[in-house]
Structure 1
């Protein structure tokens, strides 16, 4: 089995410039191995991806999951430095949510989960459904495959997350995401140390499925606190079987199995998703529910991924070293 990018040994304690160069060089060497990837951790081919099932017929819209997500992940939220550097070119927009961090009716850098309430009529009867919206954790995520800096990654357990330590906030992940999930906060992150006027514009944020809690044997906060237990998490094959069983019981529909080539989030609804999409409020930070083709099957994206993966891996190694040096310099001040 090849050692993969997520197993590159990092320097302990204070990090010297020599260690930075060793780390960067090791990242490039690992990416040269057959089968290695900057976007997917393959620590064990025997490990099945984790997936979640959400039974929308049971969600009461209480938003306990939203509050739990905020509480558990508060230490990961950005604390921007102001005033923000003037960006070049000037068309690069500042995105500042620091004074609106309690906004909870859309996705923001401080709100990785929100409840999308949709109402309408189906088969002559009124309906109202509450849909917890967050990252779907795609099986072949364009955000990770196409990030030019290697800061978006997909773990072997199916979690897709952004490494905020090396993200430059360029927004490629949001552009290529079919649902435009990641959200940017200006004035935070490594770009301030590297090229504050030219490199990116902050850091991108999204649901990381409480990967740190899962690593300790816990559950994602949103699942832990749900009073109706509408969510389940487990091996993808089991969750997919459960989603289909729920759909059969309610004569319902599944979203997320085929979308974008397959995700690790399965919504089960008694109302067709095309009808929900028509009735849902959509816009920035408010994703749609329309069918999505596999974006990585597009020739342009596939070509970019093939050629960019080695460069992204090298960039990730260099940025990791730069981040370490930045912390060392801050400690010496």
Structure 2
């Protein structure tokens, strides 16, 4: 995205107007045939023999053109902090979520009937039914489509990272040196852009499956209409005498896991010997939307969101018109 002085002034004018005429952000209601996904942990084997699991490789190839390319001159600390998040030198890292890796396979050893059992768990955005990242994003750049995917608009994101703060699984990851904020430097409004899985929403719109699912050699991941997937997940859990995760956790998500091993045991194993703040857990998180104090803070940020959001949207639209 390119910016000019004329675009900047137009954005400032629109931002000023936005403080006079406030507008609410609407979230699309989930359609009856919205998508959900099923991940069968009994089938997932982590692709032994491969340097990188097939689903992870497919995701990276498919989204490579959308990965951030930071401006080295804009890799500055987040005011007033004395740090910034730069993953551009660690692009090949596949053992966790990063702005360059939106899916990873988590490995954990769980003791089952006295015997150690290794589980491999594909991890990415859960695509919550009522996502706090969407409700509480002060810039209004996180959205949930009516057919299920939750996504972040990189052209409007300022990298404030509130989406990650309120996410129970700490999914969105920030890259400094990119995004609209670089053109407002040194305005203290964030520091980059947040990135995460969007369930290959453009492919879904064309009737195609997400890249990770078509690449899985074990058929461990499935996508379909929500009620169909829920029925499949429940039936699979019964057939395994197993357990279901995602149906009620955090108010429900569009990602359902089925496992023969109880998820509380998996979560305990994930936390064992690890700083729990640094591990992507499988737990029963508290819903941030139910915290009145959090909502109150979000409300206080609303005027700032109006100004910033209007500026970014106007600049983007103006530049697109200039290019025609």
- Same topology, TM > 0.5: yes
Distance in 1, matches of 2:298 and 2:207, equals: 33
Q: Say which of 138, 149, 163 aligns to 2:128.
A: 138
TM-score, normalised to structure 2, is 0.85
Distance in 1, matches of 2:118 and 2:291, equals: 36
Unaligned runs of 5+ in 2: 1-5, 48-52
Q: 1:161: Cα distance to partner? A: 0.7
Q: Say which of 34, 40, 57 aligns to 1:49.
A: 34
Matched ranges for 1:146-225 at <5 A = 146-196=136-186, 198-225=188-215
Residue 105 of structure 2 corresponds to: 115
Unaligned runs of 5+ in 1: 1-14
Matched ranges for 1:276-287 at <5 A = 276-280=266-270, 286-287=279-280
**Kindly tell me: are residues 46 and 54 of structure 1, through their superposed partners in 2, closer, same or farther at Cα, counting changes over 3 Å?**
closer
Q: 1:151: Cα distance to partner? A: 0.9
Tell me if structure 2 keeps the 8 A contact 1:108–1:285: no
Distance in 1, matches of 2:10 and 2:126, equals: 36
**Kindly tell me: are residues 16 and 78 of structure 1, through their superposed partners in 2, closer, same or farther at Cα, counting changes over 3 Å?**
closer
Aligned length: 311
Tell me if structure 2 keeps the 8 A contact 1:31–1:37: no
In the alignment, structure 1 residue 258 sits paired with structure 2 residue 234: no
**Kindly tell me: are residues 263 and 221 of structure 1, through their superposed partners in 2, closer, same or farther at Cα, counting changes over 3 Å?**
same
**Aligned residues: CA RMSD:** 3.1
Distance in 2, matches of 1:92 and 1:146, equals: 25
**Kindly tell me: are residues 309 and 217 of structure 1, through their superposed partners in 2, closer, same or farther at Cα, counting changes over 3 Å?**
farther
Matched ranges for 1:305-320 at <5 A = 312=305, 315-320=308-313
In the alignment, structure 1 residue 290 sits paired with structure 2 residue 277: no
Q: Deviations over 1:104-137 (max 9, x none)?
A: 0000000000000111211223311110000101
Distance in 2, matches of 1:241 and 1:65, equals: 24
Distance in 1, matches of 2:255 and 2:111, equals: 25
**Kindly tell me: are residues 320 and 129 of structure 1, through their superposed partners in 2, closer, same or farther at Cα, counting changes over 3 Å?**
same
Residue 3 of structure 2 corresponds to: none
Residue 293 of structure 2 corresponds to: 300
Residue 37 of structure 1 corresponds to: 25
Distance in 1, matches of 2:58 and 2:192, equals: 25
Distance in 2, matches of 1:202 and 1:106, equals: 19
Tell me if structure 2 keeps the 8 A contact 1:193–1:326: no
Residue 7 of structure 1 corresponds to: none
Tell me if structure 2 keeps the 8 A contact 1:159–1:209: yes
